[in-house]
Structure 1
Amino acid sequence: MSDIPLRINGTSITMPPGNQSVSYIIENPPTGKNQKSGALEVLLAFGGAVLVGGVFFIWWRKRSGNDGGETKADPIEDALKSDELREEEKLALKYLLEHGGRASQAEIRDALEIPKTTAWRMFKRLEERGLVRIIRGRKENWVELKR
């Protein structure tokens, strides 16, 4: 400005009489939008990296969970092959394997034609070895293979 304004009121300026020259520069103040989008991009990149890392970790754990791709030995199959079990116990485990891994105690007892007390003791021994789980119901007990 070439002279001192008489009054400045918001967007209007009152100048003294005579020729005056006014020059100005319009600046575009930086908006918060550009700054936030930069932070948002960094946050999204970090979140994406964490997500990809998590998926890779889960895949790696499942793949290497069995020590180099070897299949883990099934304790039921090992027990059937060993000489530690009695013949009735092996037959009961085979029956459970053939019938989906779960059956009533009475059903197995009838199939093997063994007395009630003998069956109960046999299933208790198998449960102590960690091969089966006995589920007590209201009217009958169920036997389930542990996997």
Structure 2
Amino acid sequence: MAEDSEELYLSFLFLAFIILVFTSSANAVTMGELILRIYEDGVVAIEDRILPEVDYGNVTVKLLTNRVENILVVGGEGRLVSYQLNGDLVTLYGEIPNQVVIHYETSALTIKNGSLWTLEIYLHRDAEVVMPSRSVIISLSDVPKMIVGEANSLKLLLSPGFWKIEYVIQFTPHNTIQEAQDSSYIIIFSSIIGGPIAIVSAMLYIRRKKNSSMVLDDEKKVFELIKKRRRVTEAEIRALTRLPKTTVWRIVRRLERKGLVRVIKVNNRNEVELA
């Protein structure tokens, strides 16, 4: 009887120790860069960079929404990290690298009304927002910390708090990657809603010259990744190459037409493997 009690007591101590270790490691994380890339179809691709302070256990991170698609958690050298998704919380568990990037996509942050798009988001920390190509910002709910031209789009540095950005997409007859050598103009007429400041004439001229060799380099990069991973989803290709969604889609289709890869539909997602 005494032996049974001692075993039960030791089991209780062990269980308490395990719970203490995992509880103390939860949320032991430093938040890094937060990058949002908005695509022309309203999908927002998010890169949430974190620096876990533990190398084993579990770490929980709150996402920007609970409507998440194509989530991918990547550590150093492209190693995938185990995770569990529960609503807008993602918990990393097991062996955890000291640098982790959580990639995911969502269409829950944007709304379209006619030709007007609206991004509404609450940020808990500074974030970079890369606007869609050929987008024109109509209004901002506040003044960004910084506005920078990036390729043929804009990058906004936003402070924590609620943000509302209204914008439209300007489509042109030459709206393909192959014809992206043409110069692009982005004109912004912004007004600060509910504030005393009005930005009435801010114009940014962005010139991009992307030649065919750059397109071939991207194609080679994607093909080498497929060869290395043997089978990879299009979401993983976007995350690991940081190429836009439409660019990856076109490259994969070109490789498929050349007979180099095949695309397989698995659970509503595209997986790519060598042909």
TM norm structure 1? 0.39
Higher CA-based Rg: 1
Between structures 1 and 2, the one with greater strand share? 2
Higher relative contact order (CA 8 A, sep 6+): 1
- Determine which structure has the larger helix proportion and give its number: 1
